[in-house]
């Protein structure tokens, strides 16, 4: 029995689909099928049954899933302990980015990591806050950034900053919005973030107490789309302050000075089960130093105490 077979078993169990499991572990679908077949042959049991809805665990498979998780966690703990003894951090850390790298200070982060831990490689994956939280929980990512509050007890979330959010309108609408109240602005065309976009949180706060309807709006699922739609005159929306200011400087937008003060929290997230992992501790410490402007690339402090200071 090989650890990769157990990892494949858990991926299929969690995804319920061979194709999705293959994408998750970066393998081909035939390889995933072969791993499961070999594991079933060695164990002498059937782990899955094929259904119209995908791969479903058998009763035996459900019973063995927890044992497989224990084995994988034990193997990861063994590797973490070995890293502690060696004192030389090596390997690859996969980090989820939920917005543009400049905003997340990725250049500073990668520079400090390269100086402090030159044999530790970072792999950066562009994603969304919701997907990053789920992927960290499921151990598909080692860590990441999120604007969403963390709903998973298996995930640790360190608040890095509160990010101001501004209501913005196309520059050509400057006179059209001048002096307008929030309920009057609601009658104009808007770009509304969809439910998967963190800006929907700020959007909801904006209108939660106004009790007004918004008859004319488009939906957008990303910051980039919202920025482009505002800049091209399609409607009013909400953006983080840095993006709003950039649009204003470019002459593409104006700030609407109405409604409550809005903000989003940016978090650094990682699996709680890896809090003692030297790789995670090193990464969390550098992230905290970069965001709190303490001397970076110095001796690695404890990430929990650093973030809480």
Domain boundaries along the sequence of the chain: 3-84, 88-161+265-308, 162-262
Task: Please check whether the two domains, 88-161+265-308 and 162-262, share a CATH topology.
Answer: yes
DSSP 149: P
Does this model's pTM top 0.85? My answer is: no
Predicted confidence band at 89 (pLDDT cuts at 50, 70, 90)?
confident
Predicted confidence band at 80 (pLDDT cuts at 50, 70, 90)?
low
Per-residue model confidence as pLDDT tens digits over 38-73: 999 999 999 999 888 889 999 999 999 989 988 987
Cβ atoms within 10 Å, residue 118:
11
**Listed residue (224, 222, 217) closest to 246, CA to CA:** 224
- Write down the residue that tokens 């998967």 correspond to: 196
Predicted pLDDT at 297: 39
Class of 162-262 in CATH: alpha beta
When pLDDT is averaged across residues 273-294 and rounded to a whole number, the result is 86
Q: Which fold has domain 3-84?
A: Arc Repressor Mutant, subunit A (1.10.10)
Give residues with Cβ within 8 angstroms of 190, minimum separation 6.
Answer: 214, 216, 217, 218, 235, 236, 237
Ramachandran angles phi, psi of 84, nearest 5°:
-60, -45
Query: Which CATH architecture group holds 88-161+265-308?
Result: 3-Layer(aba) Sandwich (3.40)
Predicted pLDDT at 75: 83
**Is pLDDT above 90 for 4?**
no
């Amino acid at each position: 029995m090989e650890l990769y077979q157990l990892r494949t078993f858990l991926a299929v169990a969690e995804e319920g689909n061979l194709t999705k499991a293959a994408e998750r572990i970066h393998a081909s679908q035939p390889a995933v099928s072969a791993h499961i077949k070999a594991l079933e042959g060695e164990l002498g049991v059937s782990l899955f049954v094929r259904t119209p809805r995908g791969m479903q665990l058998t009763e035996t498979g459900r019973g063995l899933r927890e044992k497989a998780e224990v084995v994988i966690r034990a193997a990861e703990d063994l590797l973490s302990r070995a890293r502690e003894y060696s004192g030389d951090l090596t390997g690859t850390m996969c980090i989820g980015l939920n917005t543009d790298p400049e905003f997340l200070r990725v250049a500073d982060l990668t520079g400090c990591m390269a100086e402090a831990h030159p044999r530790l490689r970072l792999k950066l994956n562009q994603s969304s806050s919701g997907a990053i939280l789920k992927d960290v929980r499921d151990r598909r990512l080692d860590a990441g950034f999120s604007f969403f509050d963390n709903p998973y007890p298996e995930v640790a979330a360190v608040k890095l900053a509160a990010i101001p959010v501004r209501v913005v309108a196309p520059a050509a609408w400057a006179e059209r919005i001048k002096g307008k109240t929030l309920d009057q602005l609601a009658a104009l065309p808007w770009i509304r973030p969809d439910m998967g976009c963190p800006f929907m949180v700020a959007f909801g706060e904006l209108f939660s107490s106004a009790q007004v309807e918004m008859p004319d709006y488009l939906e957008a699922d990303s910051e980039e789309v919202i920025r482009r739609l505002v800049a091209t005159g399609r409607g009013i929306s909400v953006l983080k302050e840095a993006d709003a200011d950039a649009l204003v400087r470019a002459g593409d937008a104006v700030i609407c000075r109405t409604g409550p003060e809005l903000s989003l929290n940016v978090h650094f997230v990682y699996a709680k089960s890896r809090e003692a992992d030297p790789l995670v501790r090193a990464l969390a410490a550098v992230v905290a130093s970069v965001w709190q402007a303490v001397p970076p690339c110095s001796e690695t402090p404890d990430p929990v105490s650093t973030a809480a200071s």
